Chain A
Amino acid sequence: EDQVTQSPEALRLQEGESSSLNCSYTVSGLRGLFWYRQDPGKGPEFLFTLYSAGEEKEKERLKATLTKKESFLHITAPKPEDSATYLCAVQPVRGGGNKLTFGTGTQLKVEL
């Protein structure tokens, strides 16, 4: 069974204090690994898809990287508006459909 574990569960940063969120996964054949951002009362908002080990993607202060066992979401010089829950999900190669298995997320709070 596919599994996704995210750490830490919660993270408090000062504005400008860079850090990384971890997503460890187990899947028999990875089609894609997805990062989403979720604000309170909203649906998950797509950030990145990574398809193969060694791949990196960047968007503003966020950079996602992928190895064969885990993915990191690096946040450089975060701002209060980066506060949200960050979710990681994997899609296996096998099976039909576009079934994603999600982790339980990292709740990030960035303070002034």
Chain B
Amino acid sequence: DTAVSQTPKYLVTQMGNDKSIKCEQNLGHDTMYWYKQDSKKFLKIMFSYNNKELIINETVPNRFSPKSPDKAHLNLHINSLELGDSAVYFCASSLGTGGSPLHFGNGTRLTVT
């Protein structure tokens, strides 16, 4: 059973389009995250939700909008895609926010042409 699952695994789209990535976790965790990994493999946090409440919102263009319908799901919607949005997006979850480890999904590779 996959603990943190993301769909789709690959996403190829054109500039200007709008796309969504979905994430689900079955670990019973209450905190979920979106991280972006660039071409140099650098992982940077974008957003975090705890019990459906947004608690971390890094300096991310407002074209990116996360949504957490419940504790087990966190989606990421991206409007007006740009070339620079091409990256691998990872969803993660943890139990609480006090130093517990994050468990990551296998990523969504977004390519904007």
- CA of A98 to CA of B9 in the docked complex: distance in angstroms? 25
The segment from B13-21, B64-72, B98-106 that touches chain A is B98-106
- Which bucket holds chain A's interface residue count? 20 to 34
Contact code string A6-49 (vs B, CB < 8 Å = 1, else 0)? 00000000000000000000000001101010100111111001
Contact present for A96 and B56 (CB under 8 Å): yes
Contact present for A102 and B101 (CB under 8 Å): no
Q: Which residue of B lies closest to A91 (CB)?
A: B99
Contact present for B94 and A98 (CB under 8 Å): yes
Q: Which residues from chain A contact B83 at a C-beta distance below 8 Å?
A: none
Which parts of B11-48 form the interface with A (CB within 8 Å)?
31, 33, 40-45, 48
Q: Give the residue among A46, A97, A99 with the most B Cβ atoms within 10 A.
A: A97
A87 and B99 in contact (CB under 8 A), knowing A43-B90, A43-B104, A98-B31? no
Q: Which residue of A lies closest to B31 (CB)?
A: A98
Q: Which residue of A lies closest to B94 (CB)?
A: A98
10 contacts between A and B (CB under 8 A): A31-B99, A41-B107, A43-B92, A44-B43, A44-B90, A45-B104, A46-B102, A96-B55, A98-B100, A99-B45
Question: Chain A residues in contact with chain B, CB under 8 A?
Answer: 31-32, 34, 36, 38, 41-46, 49, 51, 85, 87, 89, 91, 96-100, 102, 104-105
Question: Chain B residues in contact with chain A, CB under 8 A?
Answer: 4, 31, 33, 40-45, 48, 50, 55-56, 90, 92, 94, 96-107
